[in-house]
Amino acid sequence: MLRSDVDHGKAAKGRGELSRRKCSLPIIGLTTTVRFSLFADFDKRPSDPLSLQYWKEAVMKPTKTSARIAETPATLLQPRDPEKLRWEMQPVQLAIARRAFELFEKRGREQGHDWEDWFQAESEVLHPVSIASFESEDRLSLHANVLGFGEKELQVSVEPKRVAILGKKEVAATQAEREKTERVDSYPDQILRIIDLPTAVDPEGAVVELQAGLLKFELPRAAKRMEETSAATA
């Protein structure tokens, strides 16, 4: 055996002992071992079928999830008359006001906390709904997260500068079902959101869809709608 081969073997043995000493440190030993294990998994050659399968599953998983959402059929919702919907909102608004007054009394009728009490009451009475908006030259799009509410449990209205969402979950038919629902769903069973729009829209051209727990509003801008109407009549 050549001297260079012996030296090379000793150097490799020394590196191996150093790695083992690092992995046996009491504080960082576990982290180092996990890191080495991860590097060992990712260091597989492209020809390794297990490595190819790992990357294939990692890449395809988000795609499959998106595909399932896209395949969920969308349901059209017919916007209600804004005035009639406002009447149906009143019981929910009264419940919020009643709870806000209870909080006001609980703090000894201390003044200066009106908005704080109101927001706290809303968080207790209403189901949280996140809103995302997207604007383009000809339309305004709104996406509201109403996961857990079905098409028969939601009502919407569209006005030139405002969108309203009212939701109420159906009451369970039996006491056992009601108790099961309360255990599963820790959020309130009501939705009330009034969204002021940044630009005027045409309510007649509004399209409202419910798909996979997402309430989508496609609202054509009022100015664009007027231009299309003028072009059609010219």
Q: Strand (E) positions, the chain?
A: 75-77, 131-135, 139-145, 154-159, 162-168, 190-196, 207-211, 214-220
Percent of all residues in the chain with a pLDDT value above 90, rounded to a whole number: 54
Side-chain-facing half-sphere of 193: CA atoms under 13 Å: 21
pLDDT-wise least confident of 21-35, 91-105, 175-189: 21-35
Whose CA is closest to 198, among 151, 146, 148, 131? 131
Whose CA is closest to 182, among 172, 193, 168, 194? 172
Mean pLDDT, range 76-96, rounded to an integer: 96
Between 150 and 233, residue with greater pLDDT? 150
- State the pLDDT at residue 90: 96
pLDDT score of 30 more than 50: no
- State the pLDDT at residue 172: 52
- State the pLDDT at residue 217: 98
pLDDT score of 76 more than 90: yes
Mean pLDDT, range 155-174, rounded to an integer: 87
Q: pTM for the complete prediction? A: 0.64
pLDDT score of 145 more than 90: yes
Q: Which strands form 214-220's sheet, in the order they lie side by side?
A: 75-77, 207-211, 214-220, 139-145, 131-135
Give the DSSP letter of residue 169. P
Only one residue has tokens 């309203």, namely: 164
Mean pLDDT, range 97-118, rounded to an integer: 94
Integer Cα distance of 81 and 83 in angstroms:
6
Model confidence band, residue 165 (pLDDT cutoffs 50, 70, 90):
very high
Residues in the chain: 234
pLDDT score of 164 more than 60: yes
Q: Count the neighbouring beta carbons within 10 Å of the beta carbon of residue 210.
A: 22
Which residues make Cβ contacts (< 8 Å) with residue 166, sequence separation at least 6? Answer: 85, 88, 89, 92, 154, 155, 156, 191, 192
Integer Cα distance of 135 and 144 in angstroms:
15
Which residues make Cβ contacts (< 8 Å) with residue 128, sequence separation at least 6? Answer: 187
Q: DSSP letter string over 102-118?
A: HHHHHTTS-SS-HHHHH
pLDDT score of 37 more than 60: no
Mean pLDDT, range 75-101, rounded to an integer: 96
Mean pLDDT, range 33-47, rounded to an integer: 39
Model confidence band, residue 122 (pLDDT cutoffs 50, 70, 90):
very high
pLDDT-wise least confident of 148-157, 171-180, 189-198: 171-180
